[in-house]
Amino acid sequence: MDMRVPGVLMRGGTSKGLVLHAGALPAGARECEAMILAMFGSPDRRQVDGLGGADPLSSKLAIVSPSERAEADVDYLFGQVGIEQPTVDYTVTCGNLAAAVAQFAVDEGLVPAREPCATVRIFNRNTGKLILAEVPVRDGRACTAGDCVIDGVPGRGAAIRLTFFEPAGGVTGRLLPTGQAMDTLPGAFGPMRLSVVDAGNLYAFVPAAYFGLRGDETPAELEACAGLLAQADAIRRRVAALLVHLGAVRPGLGAQLAFSCKLALLGDARASEPEISARILNPGRVHKAFAVTGAIALACAARVPGSVAHLPRLAVEAPGTLRIAHPAGVMEVAVSATGAGPIPHIQGVSVLRTARRLMEGHILVREDALQPAPAAYGARPGAGVSLPGQGVWS
- What integer pLDDT is reported at residue 79 of this predicted model? 98
Distance separating alpha carbons of residues 303 and 308, to the nearest angstrom? 11
- Are residues 229 and 324 located together in one domain of the fold? yes
Residue 372 has pLDDT above 60, yes or no: no
CA 293 and chain centroid, separation: 5
Report yes or no: 48 and 59 within 8 Å, Cβ to Cβ.
no
Residues 289 and 275 in one domain: yes
At 371, the pLDDT band (50, 70, 90 cuts) reads: confident
Looking at the structure, tell me whether residues 366 and 341 fall in a common domain. Answer: no
Total-model pTM: 0.92
DSSP state at residue 140: T
Q: Which of 353, 368, 388 corresponds to the end of one domain?
A: 353
Query: Which residue, 110, 99, 75, is CA-closest to 16?
Result: 99
pLDDT for residue 316 = 64
* Tens of pLDDT, residues 155-195: 999 999 999 999 999 999 999 999 999 999 999 999 999 99
The answer to whether residues 328 and 372 belong to one domain is no
Residue 65 lies in a domain: yes
pLDDT interval class at 251 (50, 70, 90):
confident
Name the pLDDT band for 271 (thresholds 50, 70, 90). low
Residues 110 and 192 in one domain: no
User: Does 391 map to a domain?
Assistant: no
* Residue 230 within any structural domain of the chain: yes
Residue 281 included in any domain = yes
Whether 367 and 291 map to the same domain: the answer is no
Rounded average pLDDT over 96-125: 98
What is the total count of domains within the chain? 2
Residue 98, CB-side half-sphere exposure with 13 Å CA sphere: 33
Position 67 scores a pLDDT of 98
User: Quick check: helix, strand or coil at residue 369?
Assistant: helix
Of the CA atoms within 13 Å of residue 312, those in its CB half-sphere come to 1
Mean per-residue pLDDT of the chain: 92
pLDDT confidence of residue 392:
45
Q: Which residues contact 4 (CB under 8 A, 6 or more apart)?
A: 362, 363, 364, 365
Question: For 197-217, what is each residue's pLDDT tens digit?
Answer: 999 999 999 999 999 999 999
Rg of the Cα atoms in the chain? 20
**Which are the contacts of 288, defined by CB distance < 8 A and separation ≥ 6?**
14, 55, 57, 152, 219, 327, 328
Shared domain check, 291 and 190: yes
Enumerate residues 6+ apart whose C-beta is below 8 A from 326: 151, 152, 277, 278, 279, 287, 289, 290
The mean per-residue pLDDT over the stretch 216-224 comes to: 97
Residues 193 and 321 in one domain: yes
- For residues 366 and 321, membership in a common domain is answered with no
Of 94-98, 306-310, 380-384, the one with minimum mean pLDDT is 380-384
Mean pLDDT of the region 371-379: 44
Residue 203 sits in a domain whose CATH number is 3.10.310.10
Tell whether 372 is covered by a domain: yes
196 lies in the same domain as 316: yes
Residue 123 domain-assigned (yes or no): no
CA distance between the termini of the chain: 28
> Does some domain include residue 124?
no
| 33: in domain | yes
Rounded CA separation 372/11 (Å): 31
Q: Tell me how far apart the alpha carbons of residues 333 and 320 are, in angstroms, rounded to a whole number.
A: 8
How much is the pLDDT for 58?
A: 97
Average the pLDDT over each of 167-181, 249-263, 297-311, 321-335 and give the range with the smallest value. Answer: 249-263
Q: Alpha-carbon torsion 172, 336, 65, 361, what sign?
A: negative
Which residues sit opposite 322 in a β-bridge?
333
Question: In angstroms, rounded to a whole number, what is the distance separating the alpha carbons of residues 94 and 56?
Answer: 11
Same domain, 323 and 369: no
Q: Are 53 and 59 in contact (CB under 8 A)?
A: yes
Contact 375, 11 (CB under 8 A): no
Residue by residue, DSSP assigns 32-89 as: HHHHHHHHHT-S-TT-TTSS--SSGGGSEEEEEEE--STT-SEEEEEEEE-SSSS-EE
Could you tell me if 6 and 18 are in contact, meaning their C-beta atoms sit under 8 angstroms apart? no
How far apart are the C-alpha atoms of 202 and 323, rounded to whole Å?
20
Within this chain, do residues 309 and 369 fall inside the same structural domain, yes or no? no
Whole-number Å distance between alpha carbons of 85 and 311: 39
- What is the span of the domain harbouring residue 190? 183-353
Per-residue DSSP letter, 380: -
**Mean pLDDT value of segment 323-332:** 97
Q: Would the pLDDT of 380 be above 50?
A: no
Is residue 243 within 8 A of residue 172, CB to CB? The reply is yes
